[in-house]
Amino acid sequence: MFKKLIVKDERTEKIYHEIGSKMFAITIWLILSAMIYRRFILGQSPKDFRDLQFIIAITAILYIGANLYYDGILSVRLKSILIRIYITLVIVSLIIGILSNNITNLTEGLTSIITVTVSYFFIIIIYWIISYFGMKKIKKDLS
């Protein structure tokens, strides 16, 4: 009944997608802020908000992968996009590691940085493959 009241065109679709994307980003930043508040203001143990860490990690990885697949951006821009994604993932992981007291000295910090860097390198390769298949899908849909 209500579907007939809303006229969808490219402009309204774009607006809906922009709103959803911005609300998702705001939600993620609010969850990160809640983790910082709970850790440093309330003094809670990192084990008390492992669920929030898991939610942020999974949603960020899936959100980026879905965007790369459905946008099909296998182009010159992809390299700079993947570099920005890589840097962001490393920084957010290190922040979460510091918040959860996993990084307490220099040796653990270097080990964590190496582990995070290598594991996210493989995730970036997977993102490139996802983007490649997304581009093939879009080309197939256009022809």
Q: Which two tokens stand for residue 95?
A: 């922040």
Q: What's the pLDDT band for 75 if we cut at 50, 70, 90?
A: low
Terminal alpha carbon distance of the chain:
34
Q: What's the pLDDT band for 53 if we cut at 50, 70, 90?
A: confident
Q: From 84, 81, 93, select the one nearest 118 (Cα to Cα).
A: 93
pLDDT one-digit tens code per residue, 78-112:
677 777 877 887 787 777 766 666 566 667 667 77
pLDDT one-digit tens code per residue, 120-139:
788 778 877 887 888 788 78
Q: Which two tokens stand for residue 26?
A: 């705001």
pTM (two decimals): 0.54
On whether the CB atoms of residues 129 and 69 are closer than 8 A, the answer is no
Give the integer Cα–Cα distance in Å for 102 and 94: 9
Q: From 28, 48, 143, 59, select the one nearest 99 (Cα to Cα).
A: 48
Give the integer Cα–Cα distance in Å for 51 and 124: 24
